[in-house]
Structure 1
Amino acid sequence: MKAHPMFGDTLIAALIAAFDLLLFVARVVEPASNPRPHPWFVTLPLIVGMVAPVVFRRKYPLAAAYLALAVGVVHSLLEIGIGSLVTGCIALYTLVAYVNRRAALLYLAVNVVVAVVQMPLQRPNDWVIGVILFALSMAFSWALGEFNGARRAYNAEVERRLRLLETERDQQARIAVAEERARIARELHDVVAHAVSVMVVQADGAAYAVRGQPDLAERAVKTISSTGREALTELRRLLGVLRSEENDGGERTPQPGTQSLSDLAGRVRAVGLPVQLDIVGDVDDLSTGVGLGIYRIVQEALTNSLKHAGPGSSAVVRVERTGDRIELSIVDNGRRASGALVGVSGGNGLIGMRERALVFGGTLEAGPRPVGGWQVRATLPIGNS
């Protein structure tokens, strides 16, 4: 009946009509009944006209209510049955539950006026009982309408909030996906930029040394090979995140962290940029996220030094833990052209380093040193990492 409300209202109308028809048949069978039955061609149309508005009360509540009131006046005057009282109560309930209190109050006032005028004329001896019955019926219909209207409003509010929660959940899912894609993009940039920079430098060195210093060229080629393999391993790990859950059981490699800084410094030294690594304090117990952020910042800074510092340069990396924060300093003494400085300051590498620092509520500054060279300084709060 909830899925097809008109079908349910039709059943209600049929029950009311059936009761009035039973009263009509009983009066026909008992000729001495009081009141005497009216002709069928008067009674049957009034019964049908009395219950017909009930069928359409949800679709046209106001029209159905006043149509029932108009037919109900004639129906009650002829004393055909209880249809006029029942349909009046149903109409009032419908207006309270589905329209508004103002429309229901106006309809109730019209009913009261009709009842006050009609009952003393029709039943001068027991009109008080009729008025009491009418008042109780209308009061019950109003209360029932208020209850059902409040329940419908509550259900509508619950459904609205559920839709809102579903919308927020979908938005949060899209935000999470975007953040994960941004994180993967930063990881890919760091891996590719570092590996390609090392390989280009080594390839240039091998090209110059291939005839005069074959041993040096061979070492450069081996460095290119090992760097490429390491980059491929990290790329496979990152791209594995984008695979379906069916491939979750595949081979995985651990994320680099502060424990990998020595290996990173060694690889950069092998490429040709002397790196001094100073670690002050215990940084082995940092969380995986903080450790990865430190590693990527140092990796990107050394990659920029490798590309732009020039020959004969060196770099100093200092990682210091002081209380609840990590101080990072990556400094080189190279000479850079203005164009190179602009490229570094506005490139994706520096943006990625700043984003990594901001993720943990930290800060990052990068720029030329007054005495020459380039410096990157970052502060990362670590809390209880």
Structure 2
Amino acid sequence: MVGDTLLAAVIALLDVLIFIGRTAVAPSEQPAPQPWYITLPVILGVVAPIVFRRKYPITAAYVTLGFGVAHTMLEIGVSSMITTCIALYTLVAYVSRRSGLLYVAMNEVVALVQTPWQFPDQWIPTLIVVNLSLAFSWALGEFVGARRAYHAELEQRLRLLETERDQQARIAVAEERARIARELHDVVAHAVSVMVVQADGAAYAVRGQPDLAERAVKTISSTGREALTELRRLLGVLRSEDNGGERTPQPGTQSLSELAGRVRAVGLPVQLDIVGNVDDLPAGVGLGVYRIVQEALTNSLKHAGPGTSATVRVARVGDRVDLSIVDNGKRTSRSLLGVSGGNGLIGMRERALVFGGTLEAGPRSGGGWQVTATLPFGGN
């Protein structure tokens, strides 16, 4: 409002100077102006609404129009024309085209009635000047309004981009936490299952078969060390993305034979069949294959019972990998619930879905448990 107040003061000053100049001129040269107590209130009524034009644009415009009629009839100066143009510009730029068009129509009606009656000899040039002034004000209002709309849209887009960036950051954090949770579950669940089975065996054999108990304890020790190594790797990723320490490579399909050997050493006979070349699979697909096989064999260890054997088949068919992990163990209803509803199965399915694949797990009709999965790669 400070700028608009200064603008109104400058316009009022112009009219005051015109009034003073006309007062100083001899009455014989032109008609004497109206008395100051009429002139000054009319000037104030014309320019005062300009101060409030941004806060009350429509009210200010029509108050200006009303006082402008009296100002023009008294031929006080130029402020009525200037303030009318400013009011039209404000309506177009800050309110709407409809409000501006209605204001132009009102001004045209007033001009067509007042101008021929007040200026019968010059009413056509006067109307041309009035219309050109209104057209210029409209064009200026359109330009400023378009720039304001552009800046408003730009600010809105920036806010949306900031919101989208924050949401993407939260999604990335959630995905990373889910990935780490799956990795931790796979590492810990497999290692703990192996260690529990070996510890139970060592407890039974410690008196009658000390050699067997010693091998079981060694297996527990090596399994624990491997689990600690993988946990350190995961925690190292959490601490820093640029860790200069030693990194353990991620397991993949090339580690399946080692995994099968560890499970056999625990007491679960495993037959591993690999069809096709699976050594050059993408790292993510290879890790997914390894973790699915690891989780399925871990479930067999925990729930299948004694005398169980398992068959693992990994086949590369074109641009996909087919997995089949089958055991012949007998599960109780409680263990079936544990396998089907636990985090392990959820993790396996998520690993398959990451690559657009599928995974199914459930009891076999002839007994035992089966996990089948398909992981596409290549163009995906």
Query: How does the TM-score come out when normalised to structure 1?
Result: 0.91
Q: Displacement, 1:26? A: 2.7
Conserved 8 A contact 1:35-1:79: no
| Separation of aligned partners in 2, 1:374 and 1:22 | 102
- 1:60 matches 2:56: yes
CA distance in 2, matches of 1:107, 1:22: 29
Query: Could you tell me the percent identity over the aligned residues?
Result: 77
Give 1:86's aligned amino acid: I
The within-5 A match list for 1:8-23 is: 8-23=3-18
Q: How does 1:98-137 map to 2 (within 5 A)?
A: 98-137=94-133
Alignment partner of 1:156 is 2:190: no
Q: CA deviation at 1:141?
A: 1.4
Measured in 2, the distance between the counterparts of 1:270 and 1:256 equals 19
Matched letter for residue 264 of structure 2: R
d(CA) in 1 for partners of 2:80, 2:244: 74
Pick one of 232, 237, 247 that aligns with 1:252: 247
Question: Would you say the 8 A contact 1:202–1:220 is kept in 2?
Answer: yes
Distance 1:71 1:88 in 2: 10
Structure 1 runs of 4+ aligned residues shifted over 6 Å read none
1:165 aligns with 2:170: no
Please give the secondary structure, in 2, of the residue aligned with 1:241.
Answer: helix
Verify the 8 A CA contact 1:369 1:375 in the aligned structure 2: yes
User: Where do 5+ consecutive residues of structure 2 fail to align?
Assistant: none
Correspondences of 1:1-385 after superposition (within 5 Å) = 6-31=1-26, 34-243=30-239, 248-383=243-378
Partner SS, residue 251 of structure 2:
coil
| Separation in structure 2 between the aligned mates of residue 119 and residue 371 of structure 1, nearest angstrom | 104
Distance 1:353 1:21 in 2: 87
Residues 79-131 of structure 1: CA deviation (Å, up to 9, x unaligned): 22110001011111211222223322222222222222222232222122211
Q: Unpaired segments of 5 or more residues in structure 1?
A: 1-5
- Per-residue deviation, residues 175-234 of structure 1 (Å, max 9, x unmatched): 222222212111111111101101111111111112222222222112112211211222
Q: Relative to 1, partners in 2 of residues 1:291 and 1:143: Cα closer, same or farther, differing over 3 Å?
A: same
Give SS of 2:239's match.
coil
CA contact (8 A) 1:10 1:55 kept: yes
- Distance in 1 (alpha carbons) for counterparts of 2:217 and 2:143: 84
Shift of 1:138: 1.2
What amino acid sits opposite 2:58 in the alignment? L
Listed one character per residue, the Cα deviations across residues 265-321 of structure 1 (whole Å, up to 9, x for unaligned) are 121122111222222211111111101100000000110111122222222211111
- Aligned-residue offset at 1:250: 4.3
Letter in 2 for 1:352: G
**Contact map agreement 1:318 1:330 (CA 8 A) in 2:** yes
Q: 2-side partners of 1:41 and 1:199: how far apart?
A: 105
Question: Which residue identity lines up with residue 185 of structure 2 in the other structure?
Answer: H
Change (3 A) 1:47 1:244: farther
What is the deviation of 1:40? Answer: 3.4
CA gap of 1:160–1:235, structure 2 versus 1, over 3 A, is same
Which amino acid letter does the alignment assign opposite residue 283 of structure 1? V
Structure 1 residue 244: Cα displacement? 5.2
Instruction: Report the 3-state secondary structure (helix = DSSP H, G, I; strand = E; otherwise coil) of the residue aligned with 2:88.
Output: helix
The letter of the residue matching 1:231 is A
- Give the distance between the partners of 1:244 and 1:53, measured in 2 at CA: 63
Per-residue Cα deviation, 1:28-62 (whole angstroms, up to 9, x for no partner): 44445635344433333332322111111111011
Give TM-score scaled by structure 2 length: 0.93
Q: CA deviation at 1:23?
A: 1.9
Count of paired positions: 379
Distance in 1, matches of 2:306 and 2:167, equals 50
Three-state SS of the structure 1 residue aligned to 2:271 is: strand
Deviation for aligned residue 1:64: 0.3
